Structures are given as structure tokens and as C-alpha cells.
Structure 1
């Protein structure tokens, strides 16, 4: 199957949580690491998240740096990467910022056959694609992204999507930013959930970078 090169990216606590249970979003990173992520975004053709991340964080999934956007244009690319959402149910808030930043370019929602009927997102520039019956078939979604010219895909969460990509052995590179604390019983969403992962002790990922970004530890792995 022809598919994009897939990068999974996450910031988490030392005990593997992406957030806590408080109503406000927990900041797990710092300004320098946010800038690093912006550089990674500028280097990919598409950025993807799951429906849970849209609901919890209301992201825009944009390259923030004007200089980086200009560099993309100089390279013959669009100022912003394509944005994608994985939502088996299709239940997404049409008022989410992701669907109301038309100047940033198109958004593709990958859902199931049933989810396509339920999806109420009708904003201009948003395309709803059924890629599976009850669930989203990730291989079908990746093949569709490849047909749109996506060579590099950045997957930014959340844990359900990370688990799906990793357990399906569809991840080529992983960026893990570790915050210097544990959440324990305050922990909410996790980086991954229980699954059969091929990245086992018998076939581990390969560590290619470990560096400090202030108090954040960045680990980069390849398959």
C-alpha cells in the first residue's frame, strides 16, 4: 500500500498522561518545544487528530510562524498543511475552530459509512470521507491522503488515535516530549491504551535523539 510517512507526536507526563481531569487544558510543554512542533508541522503535508482532541482542545492545527509559511510557499507548497480528523461516529461540533478557519485551507474528516450520514460539519472546505464501515480503516484513509499528494503525515493525538496507528504498525517516527512530573490519580487521557503493539521488546523502536528542551525531555524514535 502506498501511504504517507507517519510521525506520531505527543507531550505527556512521566507516567504517560496527555492531560489531567481538570476542566482547563493542562500545559505539558514549554514555548521552545511548541516552536519545535511548529517546525515539524511546517515540514509535513498534513496534520491529523482524532475527534476526542477536537472536542477537548479545539485545535486549529496551523503553522504559526509567518516565516515558515513563507518558506513553504517558496518551496511550491500551500502555506498550511492539509488538516485531517479521524472520527468513526462523525459526531463533531461544526463550530470547532478547525472547521472555521477556511483561509487556512481544506479539512478532511475520515469517518465510517454510518458516520458520514451523522456528520453535521458542512462548512466550506470540509470534505467528509467514509473510510470503513463501523470504524475508520486507517490504511484506506492513508491511501486517500497519499492520493492527495500527502507524503508526510503528522499525527498529534489523542490516545485513541495513537493507539490505533501504533498497534496497526503504521508509525515510522515518534516524537515524545516528557514533562518533569507525574499525574497519577489526576491523570486523564493517556498517550496509548491497551492493545497488541508490534513495537515489543522483540522489535523495539530505535532511539535516534534524546535532548533537553528546558525542563522537557524530547525523545525521537524510528521504527
Structure 2
């Protein structure tokens, strides 16, 4: 896709947020979601949400976890309102097929929502989500650059991406991620069928590209690593 910088507002800063086990998994294969973060790290994630203009999850995460995807702190929501922002960040999802359940909690809590889909899925999704979300077609395929352009035109300056793995992989492999917040929990899943943070892909710079580590800190028994993938490490 050709991007004319003179015609479009800047794309948002893209932050990938994820918690993994020591061996890189974001869940196990049990029917109950595996909680990798601790209470303090969940609170940190709530703060990052409050600082974001939009939060994005994929259709698979909606189906698997049925999240509300909210800023939970009353104080943080009040601070957003005091700054002239909506109480909640814009909630964003992606479904190429348009196969999303209108009864999912995602649509019935928080503020405004946008659902991106393809030309093949747009009519189905507009029917299903009538009155619940703005539905946008990205063309024949999911074009993540076009998605960011549309969010930029909506005034979104900071986008927090909370997964799942295929979504994180797409943003990082296409060179669209500006920042990664990687929380590593002291757990080992050890199940090759469990979902991972990233999938095999051709990533910018290949396996020798060393990202800049901007921050490393402990949060209870979790370690937070903040990487800047577009910046080469000084080694």
C-alpha cells in the first residue's frame, strides 16, 4: 500500500503488551485462562491502558477469553475525563471473516468500538454489530498499515495491542511495532499446543537484529522488559 504522508495524519505509536511464561507461552491448553501476571502487574497494565488512546485485541482473544477490556481504576478513568479524553480508550478488534459474537462482553462495556474486517466479511459484521461498533473494511485482506492509517485519522496517537499471538506477530513482522512490554512470569507451560507470544515469520533484520532494551524491572515475581524494536541495540 502506498502511503501519502501529505494526505494522512500520523500513525499511532504502537505498543505490544504481553505476559508470557519463561518458555514463551501466553496461556496453557486448559479451559481456564492461565493468569501469568500478578496483582501489581495487572495494575501496571491498567495504567498503560489508561495512558492509551485505543486498545486492540484480535477476534481469537475475544472468542477465547471474552474480555471486557476496560480501564478498571475509577481514579484513572476520572483523570482521563479531567484531561478532556473519553472515559475509556477506543476498543478495537480485527476479524477477516466477520465471525464475531455480538453477545461478547467486549461490545457491551466501555466506550466506543471499531471492528476492522475484509470486503468479504464487512456486510456480515455490520449486520451482527449494528449499533455496537463502527465496522470498517480494509479491502481484500487485513492490511495493518491501512488499519493504522485509519486510527491515525481518528486522532489515535497511542495504540496498545494486547494480542493474541497472530496479531502481535503481524505488527512486529511488518515493522509496525514501536515498543514491546514483555512481562515474564515464573512459570513454565511446556505444552507445544499452547498459544505463544509470537509465531514463525520473517521479522525485520532477521535473527541477528538486537532490539534496544529501554527498561528492565521486577514487579513482584514478574520481570518487565521494555524493548524498542525499531531501534538497534548499542550492544
TM-score bucket of the superposed structures, by smaller chain: over 0.9
Pairwise CA distance, 1:163: 0.4
SS in 2 for 1:184: coil
Pairwise CA distance, 1:29: 0.6
CA deviations over 1:50-92 (Å, ceiling 9, x no partner): 0010011111111110100111111111110000001111111
Query: Where do 4+ consecutive residues of structure 1 move more than 4 Å?
Result: none
* Equivalent residues of 1:46, 1:152 under 8 A apart: yes
**2:173 equivalent in structure 1:** 167
**1:145 equivalent in structure 2:** 151
Pairwise CA distance, 1:124: 2.3
User: Are residue 80 (structure 1) and residue 88 (structure 2) matched?
Assistant: yes
Query: C-alpha distance in 2, partners of 1:132/1:25?
Result: 33
* Equivalent residues of 1:176, 1:218 under 8 A apart: yes
In structure 2, the gaps of 5 or more residues are 4-9, 231-235
Choose from 124, 137, 152 the match for 2:131: 124
**2:186 equivalent in structure 1:** 180
In the TM superposition, what are the counterparts of 1:18-97 in structure 2 within 5 Å?
Answer: 18-97=26-105
Query: C-alpha distance in 2, partners of 1:188/1:118?
Result: 30
SS in 2 for 1:113: coil
Choose from 12, 18, 23 the match for 1:4: 12
SS in 1 for 2:183: strand
Query: C-alpha distance in 2, partners of 1:123/1:22?
Result: 33
CA deviations over 1:12-57 (Å, ceiling 9, x no partner): 1111111100001111111000000000000010000000100111
User: Are residue 112 (structure 1) and residue 118 (structure 2) matched?
Assistant: yes
Choose from 171, 192, 200 the match for 2:198: 192
Q: What is the TM-score with the length of structure 2 in the denominator? A: 0.90
Query: What is the total number of aligned residue pairs between the two structures?
Result: 220
